[in-house]
A and B are shown apart, each in its own frame.
Chain A
Amino acid sequence: DAKTTQPTSMDCAEGRAANLPCNHSTISGNEYVYWYRQIHSQGPQYIIHGLKNNETNEMASLIITEDRKSSTLILPHATLRDTAVYYCIVQETSGSRLTFGEGTQLTVNP
């Protein structure tokens, strides 16, 4: 599996955009980038995934650099309920294992 690197923690003001970075410099050509989040004492929640192109859904946007070595998850208008640990995961091609790293603890402040 390609390894990912994320900042340990980030803070964001309520109502502002939260931009969470992820480095995955060893990603291979057919590996996808997945984002999940885990609110305290709950199971992880799927957010979004992408391969090459930028993606957007009702929860977030995913911006992947042209060389695919990094990506940014954008929560356009963060709320207090977005406080969670955010995991950036690269999916291996031969199966569907998700290997969770330490993630980024995002704290949205009022």
Chain B
Amino acid sequence: AQSVTQPDIHITVSEGASLELRCNYSYGATPYLFWYVQSPGQGLQLLLKYFSGDTLVQGIKGFEAEFKRSQSSFNLRKPSVHWSDAAEYFCAGSRDTASKLTFGTGTRLQVTL
């Protein structure tokens, strides 16, 4: 069965520190992979996506993610976190352009000042 796993439920970082959120996937073939962010009372906003090609993808708000086939991972990174980045982050995958998204359980990011 297709699945996406986010091992970290909650992460706390200091403002200005670097961030890495982990995501592992289990699909028969390379899936389409996404990172979404959800702030309280807000819908899901797409940060970035990977389909093929360059394994390092750039997204909005200074985020990037690296696809590693050997590790079945698609980790999200940011070099310097801002207090406004505090939110819930979801990794998701799909088989193709038409399929449903399968989400991980999310990682809640807390930023301390």
User: Is B truly associated with A?
Assistant: no
